[in-house]
Structure 1
């Protein structure tokens, strides 16, 4: 450790023989990318995790933003000296260090603080770096990637944290990666700690690790030492006089200093906790409680109030759904165990994007869940489970508590169960959505549609025949003819005439349309021409998130000789009107491959290239994106 005792030092860095790691902690960037939402989420969750057990009172979290003099920040000169000693060895670290250096000369520094009440605070501060699982100060202050485990399994299950990396979210919000935490325990003892995340560096001729701790130290012997916290006698911004914990982040990044975004982030992630009376949040002068949350959610200052515009942020819909809908039982299996949830579900034709808020029992939303192949359906839902369901969801959360995932699960058996559970969520939700659609769009009895379908089919074929050409080889020979027989009027027998025959032209008869040639290009193997394909040669099938297309050339009078072809698409409406530029393949298909071989096909200039033809048949498989509209009809252009 840094054992310099000739003068009072507040920050301690562990000495190392050589510099081996030249990058900033990657988790810093992850939380920085989540901005205010990630910071607010982590510190609010920590407050809820520390609630007083056995007391039926809400956790109260006070969030303040303001300014403090640089000279009032404990040990700041030591941090600035360390920052000036940093040496970057790649573009990213150089840019980060330069950004830090641009901030160190401020006399007034912006800060944000998170102070909780009706909470336990950290225990065992007097014991310092004890190593005991009961001393939560030692775990919080000096251990990275570790979180305290409650002795009561029910309490531990309900807690939001599990990965032990959320503490660094506060460092990510500071231009200097700097944060402090003030604690008041059940005995009224007050202490101040802190951490800073730099890079491994050389300071006064000695190499040091990247993480620094705001702490006192007791030297036991030449090889051993022990950290102890400072008693909190510092500036009022850093004091905590009532039981609980207070996070203070100086050098607050400008993009985090946004009161509106802070309030919105609280409502987005914790609307269930607030509505249930488990949490109250004060953001400067604003109060968010179960009685006032609607004043914020229904306020255009914080949220767009037009349902049709709620395409990315869904909190007003979630709140309305949770308050006004009766819960129904919703069961999902992971293949071994059935998990039962309460589902609050709302169907509304005005809702443009369907999402499900998956919420832990602590009242924290994990994610806006997209139901496969139903992301554009008009519904909104909130899903909350019991203790067993909560424990399982907790095991599926990623490190930032923003998504259900199986990627972090190492056990292959548990990972397989997790995959099944998450996929089954979509399957079971899809059933609920389909049921709602059928309920809100009932049929008015039975109707014999045979004659209607015959007339519509005949008219549609006639429209297509007049608008679409057959596919032709460059030689001009037709590949496909229409298989549908359109009824024709009987012709009167013509009388034989002597001499020259004259044919009277019918002015109402439509001139036979020649196939529309789209484009020609000089190719190495000759001239290629693209023609519109007759619908009789195309078969489509949509299964879940995939579409299969089959183009059958075998009905042609002359079999196609080419081994490959290119295909492009154009949208067509029910009247046969074509829209050339309405459909972008890459926006609607995330992958295109051969159905038989699985070979991927490239997409160039909005056309699928070099499609293999086997025995006169080309078969494709497309993976659909969430934006794909399943009701569209297409004209297929084949280039051979």
Structure 2
């Protein structure tokens, strides 16, 4: 550390008033992704920093351990800020109390990610320069921004694009804090850090939510980093970057899960020799990764149980299947991918691993109407395909999406590409099914059709009664006794018992087979209008869902909610209403907790004593005369 620093070690920028009282919503998004989100973001960042011209693997060392609280640089500054925080709703109050509860520890857990054969950050001595070439300033002080390579080919192959992944490390800390140690090409060593709190009052002044572990120049206008002379946990003396996260959340402190998350997302990178990862004393390399993937201590080896985690299948498919070409169009150009495809009747769920050229898996893609087919596949493209796939990734790099694309023409092309991907994959799957299940001959269906037709005529005659002739006109005589439907018991016999009272939720029926055949993890129900109360007050909308009379929701503590516009004739228009275009915020009415919007779905809505209550901020474009039908997923 420099011999003379200005003020406390952590700096918060002053503001005139408190305007935002919630924690950064992206924190919760990455927190919900747990270890997978943390390892994915930091591993991708390390691979993006590969030395130019270096052909060997990037090495990432992940360590977990304990450190004395007093050895954490500037910890007293952060503690003082946390103790000054004031929650203005139950969610922020709960979060602040959780932070306060963690401050009494003398020794805390941490995790670190240290990379080698990488460039590290440049321009640290320039501090907050706002130069595109000084990656230290971009990484340390700019939120929502990522450095762009001057070489377009290298930029295309990089994993990052949205600039929000840096906060994944903050989400892994009970105090929302992280440090980064850097050693650049000149051997200069510096330490920085960030902490994500809420806007707050401290010593009579108001401050922003984000704090920076940084020095500042004498006129208090520009940040500069500290030279790194701190404790060994924070040291980085070889070129590259090291992330240190103290106060590690208990949910993240699991070596097996860390190893699995690396295998899940980067098995191609490791198999191709682009990445080696050391997790404490375990080494993941191209020579050893299969021993982890085939180890029952890490993965279930029963193929018939591969319903959520598909990594063992992906690795086997990638290593043992010859690639074929898969051409997918977005309506204007064709993209050509290498497809590694395997058909196996024992596989219960069919998925396609969509992989970037750096070897990072983006998504377990579900092919429309083929989610339960017995196949497994890995899809990788070239540089053009990689560039396009990158443009379709969501912020957390876990799914192909079109909703974040603002340009209407590009959004339309993205939709068409994703639909065509399903269509082209369906052709491959159908061909494999036919090849492995050949027909034995032609079946004569004449007798079957005759029986069905005769039975239909008899049933029709019984229900309509006799026909009389009246002056040359046919008249249907009403039957004096209309046959009533009787409920059959399990043995097929009729019984006189009444039908049970109808549940106010019913399973959604759709013309799109995808929703019926997709993952069994969640079931979608349409909500009876009687269970929904909706009120619009100026620029806010309040919605109450009462599930207390629904057996289908009994015992559930959260659900996902989506909606569709409905007209006066009862016709639904599921793609006509975009939540993010119409609502500025969606939160819990009681706690104020903000809910994430993903793929036009309100995620993880709390159900308290059978009731969910939402408060939605309306944007100027919102049409208050629209009517909706709501769908509940549990």
2:165 alignment partner in structure 1: 166
In the alignment, does 2:472 pair up with 1:476?
no
SS of 2:42's equivalent in the other structure is helix
1:427 to 406, 416, 423: 423
User: Structure 1 pair 475/46, CA: closer, same or farther in 2 (3 Å)?
Assistant: farther
Moved over 4 A (4+): 5-8, 455-475, 513-518, 520-523, 540-547, 590-598, 624-627
Which of 491, 494, 498 does residue 519 from structure 1 map onto? 498
Q: Distance in 2 between matches of 1:332 and 1:625?
A: 33
Change (3 A) 1:514 1:254: closer
Distance (Å, rounded) in 1 between the aligned partners of 2:313 and 2:237: 39
**Residue 600 (structure 1) shift:** 6.3
Please give the alpha-carbon distance, in whole angstroms, between the structure 1 residues aligned to 2:499 and 2:7.
82
- CA RMSD of superposed structures (Å): 3.6
Task: Note if 1:245 corresponds to 2:241.
Answer: yes
Q: What does 1:9-408 align with in structure 2 at a 5 Å threshold?
A: 9-220=8-219, 225-408=221-404
8 Å CA contact 2:5, 2:215 repeated in 1: no
Q: Give the Å deviation of 1:53.
A: 1.1
TM-aligned CA distance change 1:6 to 1:404, over 3 Å: closer
How far the C-alpha of 1:477 sits from its partner, in A, is: 3.1
- SS of the counterpart of 2:30? helix
CA apart distance, 1:225 = 1.6
- Superposed displacement of residue 546, structure 1: 8.9
Contact 1:270 1:364 survives alignment (8 Å)? yes
**Range that drifts further, 264-273 or 514-523:** 514-523
* Structure 1 position 476, deviation (Å): 2.1
Distance 1:70 1:331, change over 3 A: same
Q: How many residues align?
A: 508
Aligned to 1:60, the other structure's residue is in SS state strand
Q: What 5-or-longer segments of structure 1 have no aligned partner? A: 481-512, 524-539, 548-583, 585-589, 602-623, 628-640
Q: Report the secondary structure of 1:249's partner residue.
A: strand
Say whether the 8 Å CA contact 1:180–1:195 is kept in structure 2.
Answer: yes
Distance 1:519 1:204 in 2: 70
Which TM-score applies when normalising by structure 1? 0.74
Matched position secondary structure for 1:519? coil
Q: Deviations over 1:22-44 (max 9, x none)?
A: 10000000000000000000000
**1:142–1:595 CA distance, 2 compared to 1 (3 A):** closer
Higher Rg of the two aligned structures: 1
Q: CA deviation at 1:7?
A: 7.0
Q: Which residue of 1 aligns with 2:594?
A: none
Q: Distance in 2 between matches of 1:130 and 1:33?
A: 34
Q: Deviations over 1:409-468 (max 9, x none)?
A: 010010010011011111111111101000111124x44x33xx3445567789999999
CA distance in 1, matches of 2:113, 2:438: 52
Q: Secondary structure at the match of 1:368?
A: strand
CA contact (8 A) 1:194 1:214 kept: yes
Which residue pairs with 1:630 in the alignment?
Answer: none
Change (3 A) 1:591 1:379: farther
5+ residue gaps, structure 2, are 465-477, 486-491, 503-508, 517-551, 553-561, 574-630
Q: Is the 8 A contact 1:373 1:626 kept in 2?
A: no
